Each structure stands twice: as structure tokens, then as C-alpha cells.
Amino acid sequence: MGIIRKTKAVTTVLQIFEEKNEAQSVVHLIELVKDKMNKTTVYRILDRLEADGIIHSFNGKDGLKWYAKCKGCSAEHHTDKHPHFQCTECDKVECLSIDIKIPTIKNHKVESTDILLTGRCEVCSI
Amino acid sequence: MGIIRKTKAVTTVLQIFEEKNEAQSVVHLIELVKDKMNKTTVYRILDRLEADGIIHSFNGKDGLKWYAKCKGCSAEHHTDKHPHFQCTECDKVECLSIDIKIPTIKNHKVESTDILLTGRCEVCSI
DNA sequence: GTTATTAATGCAACTGAGTCGCAAAACTAG
DNA sequence: CTAGTTTTGCGACTCAGTTGCATTAATAAC
């Protein structure tokens, strides 16, 4: 939706998502680019990228906000119903491509589904 | 686990969970008892009650912490795998008793499952 | 009931994520 | 290049949640 300009700051943020190819917490992102831009800018860029369907957000296990690149989402059609997995050891988050069936709940109109699994990731399982 | 004393403050908090019989955000709880006790006390009581398996916690849609009474949970055996539903209109949270199947994920040891559905609740669906 | 022990509380100060307003800088269209 | 609009930096702010420490209240032993 939003008219988004390709500024240096936007490019920098997008590059991180491209290179790392994994979900990033806002806190971590701010740390990564702290010499290049202000934290307010980071928050605002993430807002815009999400509004444009380029990334999606969710809350990690401690309530902090995380973002990840959308695969096959647009501003109109957000298929971000996939669950996330966060490791209790290293805190990393993975987007899972598994599909979890949510039954309909009578008298409730479910608009979004946030699923966060926590446990040991591949690396931390020894 | 924790040696828990039946203080006035603890009784007050527990009474709220009994009477209301629905999930409470910490912020709301603090507001409810602000004439009777300090907010630090509320946080600490909730911690203890959770450690004892009397209540369970989860994060609401905006990352705030919520608590609800456990039904059939103990300190050792926490069956808090049920999903929660939060209304986008009135913000209320319900514990759902539906069972959602989570497939096993290879090379991952899933330890807990947090599912938060958001949408319109019965009352707010008009 | 009194006393000793230990847990629970109050208070004030702090931390850290996220927001806001506004002036300055950077982008885009013409 | 210029005008119009978006984006950024900065500083101050909000608000949930935490911490340390001195004080108070609950429990257990007598």
C-alpha cells in the first residue's frame, strides 16, 4: 500500500533479510545497523515493509517483536499463517512450512492465527 | 514447588481469578488491586502462582503478559497446550478447550506450543 | 501467646522496547 | 534545478516489567 522509497536505509534493512535469510528480532536488527541509522528509523522501515507485504511480524517467546521475509505474500493477501519455532537455547527463530489445521470455533470469527513452538533447534539438540 | 504463603495479597489475586473465571492481563490485574497492593507484588505473586501450577501465562496479541487459571495442571505436569483466543474489539481472552495437532518436526524437540487466535468474539460479532 | 525464622511486601529507582513530534535531509516528479 | 512529499535523526517520552533493600507479615516451634 504505502508509497515506499528506495532509500539507503531501506536497502540496508532489506539486504539483511536477504543475506541472513532468517527471522530477525527488532532488537537484533537495531544492533546490526546502529552505526548506519537511528532505531526509530528501523521501526518505521519495518512498519512500511510489513504494510507492503514484504515482511511479516510476530511475537517471540518473550514478547519481543520479530520480522521475517514473506514468501508469497502481498499487501492484500497475507499468507502468514505458518507457525514459527524459537529455540530456547540460542533464541533463533525459524519459519516452519508445515500446515496446522485450526478447527472453526463456533460464534467466533478467527482472523489470524499465531503459532509459536519453542524447544531445541537442530543445532542446539547436540 | 515454591513455598507459598497464604497472604492477604495472594488471596486477593486468587479471588479475582475465581470470580472472573477468565484470563487477565497483568496490566488489568494491577489496575484492579492498585489500592490494595504494589504492582511489584502482583508480578511476584503471579510468578509464584505460575511456578506452583495454579495459573499459566501466555502473551497476548500485543506482547503483553496474560494469566489464566489452570484446569488440571500441577507444577510438574503442565497441560497448558490449549490455544487462546483474543478479541480484536474488546481485547478479552478466552482459553479454548479444542485440541490442535502439532506434527513433529524433524531434528526439533518441541517443548511448548503457544497458539493465539485473534478475531471477533461472540459478544463483538454483533 | 511469645518468639525466632523466613517469606512476602512496599518503595523507589531502574531497564529496555517501542512511540511521538518536529525540524532537517533525501528522494522523486516535473 | 526546483517544488512537493517522504524519510530520517534526535531527544524526550511512555509504559511494562525488574531489582535491591529495608520493613512487615506469615509460619513453626516452644
Domain hosting residue A90, numbered range: 8-125
Nearest to B60 by CA among A46, A116, A118: A116
CA closest to C26 C1', residue? A7
CB pairs under 8 A between A and B: 100
- Tell whether A103 is covered by a domain: yes
DSSP bridge partners of B66:
B25, B58
- Which residue in A59, A87, A125 has the most chain B C-beta atoms within 10 A of its own C-beta, making it the best mutation to test that interface? A59
Which helix (DSSP H) or strand (DSSP E) does residue A115 occupy? strand A109-120
- Tell whether A70 is covered by a domain: yes
What whole-number percentage of chain B has pLDDT above 90?
Answer: 78
C-alpha cell of A50?
Answer: 510489513
- Tell whether A30 is covered by a domain: yes
- Tell whether B22 is covered by a domain: yes
pLDDT band with cut points at 50, 70 and 90 for residue B79: low
Q: Is the pLDDT of residue A97 over 60?
A: yes
- Tell whether B3 is covered by a domain: no
- Decide if A114 and B118 are in contact by the 8 Å CB cutoff: yes
The Å distance, CA of A105 to C1' of C10, is 44
Across the range A4-21, mean pLDDT stands at 93
Which residues of chain B (3-42) touch nucleic strand C at CB < 7 A? 3-5, 7-10, 36-38, 40-41
Nearest to B74 by CA among B47, B54, B97, B58: B54
Across the range B33-49, mean pLDDT stands at 97
CB within 8 Å of B11: residues ≥ 6 apart: none
Across the range B53-57, mean pLDDT stands at 93
Nucleotide nearest to B63 (CA to C1'): D16
Nucleotides of D under 7 A from a protein CB: 6-12, 15-20, 25-27
∠B105-B110-B116 over CA atoms, to 5°? 100
The CATH number of whichever domain residue A40 belongs to comes to 1.10.10.10
What whole-number percentage of chain A has pLDDT above 90?
Answer: 75
pLDDT greater at residue A44 or residue A78: A44
Q: What is the pLDDT of residue B28?
A: 97
Q: What is the pLDDT of residue B54?
A: 93
Round to whole Å and give the CA distance between A12 and A42.
10
- Decide if A117 and B98 are in contact by the 8 Å CB cutoff: no
- Decide if A119 and B98 are in contact by the 8 Å CB cutoff: no
Q: What is the pLDDT of residue B74?
A: 58
- Tell whether A111 is covered by a domain: yes
- Tell whether B53 is covered by a domain: yes
Q: What is the pLDDT of residue B1?
A: 46
- Decide if B110 and A85 are in contact by the 8 Å CB cutoff: yes
Q: Which amino acid is at B55?
A: I
Nearest to B61 by CA among B84, B39, B82, B80: B84
HSE-CB for A61 with a 13 A CA cutoff = 18
- Tell whether A12 is covered by a domain: yes
Q: Which amino acid is at A122?
A: E
Per-position b or e across A28-60, b if 16+ CB within 10 A of its CB: ebbeebeeebeeebbeebbebbbebbbbbebbb
- Which residue in A108, A118, A124 has the most chain B C-beta atoms within 10 A of its own C-beta, making it the best mutation to test that interface? A108
Round to whole Å and give the CA distance between B93 and B23.
6
pLDDT band with cut points at 50, 70 and 90 for residue A1: very low
Q: pLDDT (tens digit, 9 = 90+) per residue, A19-35?
A: 988 999 999 999 999 99
Count of the separate structural domains present in chain A: 1
